[in-house]
């Protein structure tokens, strides 16, 4: 019988990088545990990134074995030589040190979501080690598996290795699929496990991936996880109980870009620095999928169209419980848009206000439908920052990619936010199809005009998402796709070089497709122009951020 489950998050390079590991507890583990605990299953969770630093000897070369596919293949398939097996067993054994694997009936391992081969390969090694040493059934999940499926031509061998050696592999939201697997194995559900939504398996030598299970709105529960690991160090220039001190915390947690928060002190440079205890910020999500269908976005995939909303009262109940359970009032929400449903948003805000739930938070939002009255509600409910998907100010491109943004309305919303004290961040995309000099100039002019209203811009270089509208129908957008001819070995070599040079940082996503404009720019021209455009857009950032960014870069190079 499956009564007690262990969930592990495989470690990523970020755990040993110069800028430190993530400061948020892993939402994936919290959701899985929260859902299964509601079903009466005993669950424990471990983020193995917490344990990677105790292995690290300040020499990245010690992890080079993780970037060679043949090492992973031979270990998982049981054909590895004795010396290398001993090295890998030592690595995995140290990661699992102190975790009593014997007490669990089944082990689920998240392969992560950052396209990190360090993490993905570690997950496979962990699964093989635990199955071989403890004879435990293994489940594998995580968004990295979805990435592998998107690029099957490149990762066919890795996928087949995974599916040949691990019986329960899934893509998409795993909470309900895992619950059904447990029910099947316990004899409470008469279904073939491989018919379940989300399951990935081999059939006649070919990879089959069932339709994803829709996500559930779940209150995360991090159970036994050591939460002290995730605290952000926050500084202030007065007593911790003063309104000034409170303001300073919000400045550091919400005004500053997340990757810079741990480098920033909001103290006046002429005053003595006084350090707070670490501040815990919790991730939470209460809506999935987007009511819009921007052509460049993965949300334009027809398989992910239905917007899933939580119940406003239950959502506020969750936040109240989380705040009390983990002794924090700070949250980062990871919704597609806090105002995906105006009705939900208004009920949600009013409940927070009525209960006097003293929380501070940030979230993504759409300009569409945002009114002054709704922004007042958001502010009263604890909203400190909104991140808007702006992308471009070119009306030609807005229409081409079906962005559905009114630039005049966006400007008005930003003015209201400024008046109310809500920081505004913008997502900007450089290099969209047909973005010539004129189109880029329109974006620059709009940003310059509204510079005092914009807190920070995240500058993204466009790449083709395979199942997006552009990826499915590139001709409609005036481009031709060219498969980026790069094999798995070359990707791993490139990832290793990046890992060694950047002291532990993952390479991140790579571009599977090149593209050129029909009758227009070549791929090389687009890339060369993008470099200049990105550099110029970054020159328009708030100078406060660019100064800290320069310090950040110097620290990173040491």
Report whether 294 contacts 300 (CB < 8 A).
yes
Q: How confident is the model at residue 290 (pLDDT cuts 50, 70, 90)?
A: confident
Q: Supply the pLDDT for residue 94.
A: 96
Residues 532-538 have a mean pLDDT of 96
CA angle 432, 434, 439 (to 5 degrees): 85
CA 293/CA 468 separation, integer angstroms: 9
Q: Residue 243 pLDDT more than 70?
A: no
CA 277, 278, 281, 282 dihedral sign is negative
Q: Supply the pLDDT for residue 258.
A: 77
Q: Supply the pLDDT for residue 421.
A: 97
Sequence spans of domains, the chain: 4-209, 280-477+522-557
Q: Are strands 235-236 and 106-110 parallel, antiparallel or unpaired?
A: unpaired
Mean pLDDT (the chain) is: 90
pTM: 0.92
**Element containing residue 148 per DSSP (H, E):** helix 143-150
Residues 285-290 have a mean pLDDT of 92
Q: Supply the pLDDT for residue 224.
A: 96
Least confident of 193-202, 335-344, 509-518: 509-518
Q: Supply the pLDDT for residue 245.
A: 54
Q: Residue 350 pLDDT more than 80?
A: yes
Residues across the chain: 558
Report whether 433 contacts 513 (CB < 8 A).
no
Q: Residue 431 pLDDT more than 80?
A: yes
Could you report the per-residue pLDDT of 457-505, keeping only the tens digit for each?
Answer: 999 999 998 788 999 999 999 999 987 767 888 889 988 988 887 765 6
Q: pLDDT > 90: what percent of the chain?
A: 73
Q: Residue 220 pLDDT more than 60?
A: yes
Residues 230-250 have a mean pLDDT of 59
- 423, 460, 491, 553: CA torsion to nearest 10: -60
Q: Residue 101 pLDDT more than 80?
A: yes
Q: Supply the pLDDT for residue 207.
A: 96
Residues 27-36 have a mean pLDDT of 97
Q: Which of the given ranges, 24-38, 238-252, 473-487, 506-520, has the highest pLDDT on average?
A: 24-38
CA 218/CA 428 separation, integer angstroms: 31
Residues 409-426 have a mean pLDDT of 98
The helix-helix angle for 372-380 and 342-355 (nearest 10°) equals 40
- Cα of first residue to Cα of last residue in the chain, in angstroms, is 52
Least confident of 307-321, 392-406, 438-452, 509-523: 509-523
Report whether 294 contacts 279 (CB < 8 A).
no
Report whether 263 contacts 18 (CB < 8 A).
no
Could you report the per-residue pLDDT of 165-204, keeping only the tens digit for each?
Answer: 999 999 999 999 999 999 999 999 999 999 999 999 999 9
Q: Supply the pLDDT for residue 263.
A: 66
**Element containing residue 120 per DSSP (H, E):** helix 117-134
Sort residue 234 into left (φ over 0), alpha (ψ -120 to 50) or beta: beta
Q: Supply the pLDDT for residue 86.
A: 96
Under 8 Å CB-to-CB from 261, ≥6 apart: which residues? 23, 232, 252, 253
Q: How confident is the model at residue 269 (pLDDT cuts 50, 70, 90)?
A: very low
Q: Supply the pLDDT for residue 514.
A: 87
Using DSSP, how many helices (H) and how many strands (E) does the chain show? 18, 19
Give the residue from 155, 173, 171, 159 showing the smallest Cα distance to 202. 159
Q: Supply the pLDDT for residue 231.
A: 80
**CATH topology match: 4-209 vs 280-477+522-557:** no
The helix-helix angle for 117-134 and 82-95 (nearest 10°) equals 100
Instruction: Estimate the share of the chain in helix, then strand, then coil, as percent rounded to the nearest 5.
Output: 50, 15, 35
**Element containing residue 426 per DSSP (H, E):** strand 423-430
Q: How confident is the model at residue 154 (pLDDT cuts 50, 70, 90)?
A: confident
Give me the CATH code for the 4-209 domain, please: 3.40.50
Q: How confident is the model at residue 240 (pLDDT cuts 50, 70, 90)?
A: very low
Q: Are strands 330-333 and 423-430 parallel, antiparallel or unpaired?
A: unpaired
Buried b (16+ CB within 10 A) or exposed e, 181-193: bbbbbeeeeeeeb
Give the residue from 171, 168, 119 showing the smallest Cα distance to 8. 119
Give me the CATH code for the 280-477+522-557 domain, please: 3.20.20.70
Q: Supply the pLDDT for residue 58.
A: 84
CA 468/CA 374 separation, integer angstroms: 31
CA 345/CA 371 separation, integer angstroms: 12
Q: Supply the pLDDT for residue 401.
A: 96
Residues 241-267 have a mean pLDDT of 68
Q: Supply the pLDDT for residue 547.
A: 79
- DSSP per-residue codes, 475-498: GGGTEEEEE----HHHHHHHHHHH
CA 291/CA 296 separation, integer angstroms: 15
């Amino acid at each position: 019988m499956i009564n007690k489950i262990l969930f592990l998050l495989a470690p990523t390079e970020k755990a040993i990088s110069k800028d430190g590991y993530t400061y948020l507890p892993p939402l994936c583990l919290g959701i899985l545990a929260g859902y299964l605990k509601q079903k009466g299953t005993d669950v424990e969770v471990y983020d193995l990134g917490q344990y990677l630093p105790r292995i690290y000897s300040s020499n990245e070369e010690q992890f080079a074995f993780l970037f060679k596919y043949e090492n992973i293949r031979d270990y998982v398939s049981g054909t590895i030589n004795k010396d290398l097996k001993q090295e890998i067993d030592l690595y995995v054994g140290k990661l699992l040190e102190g975790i009593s694997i014997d007490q669990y009936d089944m082990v689920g391992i998240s392969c992560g979501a950052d396209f990190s081969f360090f993490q993905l390969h570690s997950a496979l090694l962990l699964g093989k080690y635990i199955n071989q040493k403890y004879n435990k059934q293994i489940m594998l999940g995580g968004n990295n598996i979805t990435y592998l499926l998107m690029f099957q031509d490149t990762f066919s061998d890795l996928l087949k290795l995974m599916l040949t050696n691990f019986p329960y592999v899934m893509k998409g939201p795993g909470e309900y699929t895992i619950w059904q697997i447990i029910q099947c194995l316990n004899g409470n559900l008469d279904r073939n496990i491989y018919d379940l939504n989300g399951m990935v398996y081999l059939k006649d030598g070919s990879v089959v991936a069932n339709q994803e299970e829709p996500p559930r709105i779940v209150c995360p529960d991090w159970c036994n996880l050591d939460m002290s690991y995730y605290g952000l160090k926050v500084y202030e220039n007065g007593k911790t109980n003063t309104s000034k001190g409170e303001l300073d915390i919000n400045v550091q947690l919400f005004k500053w870009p997340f990757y810079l928060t741990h480098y920033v002190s909001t103290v006046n440079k002429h005053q003595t620095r006084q350090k707070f205890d670490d501040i815990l910020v919790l991730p939470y999500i209460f809506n999935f999928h987007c009511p819009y269908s921007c052509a460049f976005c993965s949300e334009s995939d027809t398989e992910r169209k239905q917007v899933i909303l939580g119940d406003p009262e239950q959502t506020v109940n969750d936040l109240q419980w989380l705040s009390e359970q983990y002794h924090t009032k700070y949250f980062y929400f990871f919704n597609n848009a806090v105002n995906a449903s105006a009705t939900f948003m208004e009920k949600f805000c009013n409940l927070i206000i009525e209960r006097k739930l003293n929380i501070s938070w940030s979230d993504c939002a759409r300009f569409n439908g945002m009114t002054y009255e709704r922004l007042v509600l958001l502010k009263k409910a604890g909203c400190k920052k909104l991140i808007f998907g702006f992308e471009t100010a070119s009306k030609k491109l807005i229409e081409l990619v079906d962005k559905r943004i009114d630039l005049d309305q966006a400007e008005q919303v930003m003015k209201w936010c400024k008046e109310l004290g809500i920081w505004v961040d913008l997502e900007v995309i450089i290099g969209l199809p047909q973005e010539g000099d004129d189109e880029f100039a329109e974006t620059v002019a709009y940003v310059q005009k509204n510079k005092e209203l914009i807190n920070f811009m995240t500058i993204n270089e466009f790449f083709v998402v395979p199942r997006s509208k552009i990826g499915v129908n590139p001709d409609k957008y005036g481009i031709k796709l060219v498969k980026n001819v790069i094999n798995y070995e070359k990707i791993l070599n490139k990832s290793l070089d990046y890992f060694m040079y950047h002291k532990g940082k993952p390479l991140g996503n790579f571009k599977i497709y090149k593209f050129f404009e029909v009758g227009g720019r070549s791929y090389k021209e687009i890339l060369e122009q993008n470099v200049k455009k990105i550099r110029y857009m970054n020159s328009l950032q708030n100078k406060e951020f660019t100064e800290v960014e320069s310090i950040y870069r110097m620290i990173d190079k040491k």
